[in-house]
Amino acid sequence: MRIDADKLRKFFVFNFSRRSLLDFFYKKLQWLALLIILLSAGFLIFLWYNYIFASQWDDARVQEYIQTKKDKNEAVFNRENFEKNIQESNARNTEFEKPLDNLEDIFRLNK
């Protein structure tokens, strides 16, 4: 593979007039888009690494978090709703266990 110096020079050289600047970006739009995608992917990987693997919680903050989670009773067990759901589930089970002998053939398969 030979590198043509003239083509390489034309790739990087542009005038500073408005028209030539727009032509330069239009011709290099794929490279510009690729550069933007790579930079944003690198930034997102940096954020992901810092938030997941390099968290800076000291022992005091960890203990404070554990204590606040212990103090809050976020999950409240409502026995009445639980019993109601169990009864509905049992009613559905008995409904599904009924024999299916007397069902109408809605597709008229058995003539």
Residue 104 lies in a domain: no
Rounded Cα distance, 63 and 95, in Å: 51
How far is residue 96 from each of residues 24, 92, 104, measured CA to CA in Å?
Answer: 70, 6, 16
Mean pLDDT (whole number) for 78-92: 93
The total of structural domains in the chain comes to: 1
Burial label, 24 (beta-carbon count in 10 A; 0-12, 13-18, 19+): middle
Domain-located, residue 34: yes
pLDDT score for 1? 64
63 within some domain: yes
> What's the pTM?
0.36
Domain that holds residue 15: 5-96
Band (pLDDT 50/70/90 cuts) for residue 37 is: very high
- Residue 87 confidence (pLDDT): 96
Asked if residue 102 belongs to a domain, the reply is no
So what's the pLDDT on residue 29?
A: 84
In a domain, 111, yes or no: no
When pLDDT is averaged across residues 77-87 and rounded to a whole number, the result is 91
Task: Look up residue 17 and give its two tokens.
Answer: 């007039």
84: in domain: yes
Section 4-18 average pLDDT = 68
In a domain, 105, yes or no: no
Quote the CA–CA distance of 93 and 104 in Å, as a whole number. 21
In a domain, 109, yes or no: no
